[in-house]
Structure 1
């Protein structure tokens, strides 16, 4: 997903999209884990994925773009109890 409109950033749209896709994917399949790839320098996307429970499992490939290295990371989200919501750090009670 690429959010190219700066006015749309920071509204939680990407987080909600990924949360909904992950939930639908697990509901529609028996997959034990969901994986995705993200560029290491895309800290905004990595934050969203991590906040939803995805964990980095390793670097899968590197490429050079305009003379700079781009490292792709693999992240995974294990299946969880479907009665528990996928985490939403903005609404969690930490007290």
Structure 2
């Protein structure tokens, strides 16, 4: 049918987009690059102790870890992520 009415005509008759036809005829191969290794960077024991000391300080004693993180970030200090702060507090709370 394509030879008789052309590609556009055939696609119109069949109700198919030309782009779909061309993608089906010439699919691009999936890009398979090297995988990046996934690792969890860990805080050293000194860094952990420092973060917990900051969280326990009288200035932040009545604040959540998220509030402490935001205040420190406003001051230009980044110790670790909020999630890490909460994880360290949880680990300390549930440590046997």
TM-score > 0.5 by shorter chain? no
Work out which of the two has the higher radius of gyration on C-alpha atoms and give 1 or 2: 2
Query: Relative contact order: is structure 1 or structure 2 higher (C-alpha 8 Å, sep ≥ 6)?
Result: 1
Higher helix share: 2
Q: TM-score, normalised by structure 1?
A: 0.29
Higher strand share: 1
